[in-house]
Structure 1
Amino acid sequence: MNYILIPILVILSIMVVVSLVRGIIAFLKTTRIDLETGEGDTATDMQLMQNKAMFARIKYQALAVVVVAVILMFAGGN
């Protein structure tokens, strides 16, 4: 069972990192646009992209925690 769960955990961890990086990039673009324009209420598309990336990160982290819990559950039974 661990042979299946470990690769799933690795894939989920990679997805967490990718979504985190995408969210940070969106945040930096939003900040740069705000600094260049001098206004704080621009770049709503970037803010939506940032929110979407951070929500994806939370979702993948939750799935990774579930996989770790399942791995620990099976490891405790042996």
Structure 2
Amino acid sequence: MEATLDQNSTMYQSMNSGQVSLWNSYVRDIQEASQTIADEKLDSMATFKVLTPTDQNRCFLIVRDGKIKYNIGEDLTN
């Protein structure tokens, strides 16, 4: 599943200002959903990607089978 984060969303604006708590909550929800789908053996549906609003070839988040493969939030807190 793929989604694009809206540049005008509260989540995007808070990430832009360096606050990632809302984003981290969203990531946990996506991770749990991905794990649940993987547990049901629906592997083709257990991958989630959140694309950047300005470049659909780049991702903010990739979760596969309940495991985080990439999370921009980690880059923002370092």
**TM-score range normalised by the length of the shorter chain:** 0.3 to 0.5
Is the radius of gyration larger for structure 1 or structure 2?
A: 1
Q: Choose between structure 1 and 2: higher helix proportion.
A: 1
Task: Provide TM-score, normalisation by structure 2.
Answer: 0.46
Task: Provide TM-score, normalisation by structure 1.
Answer: 0.46
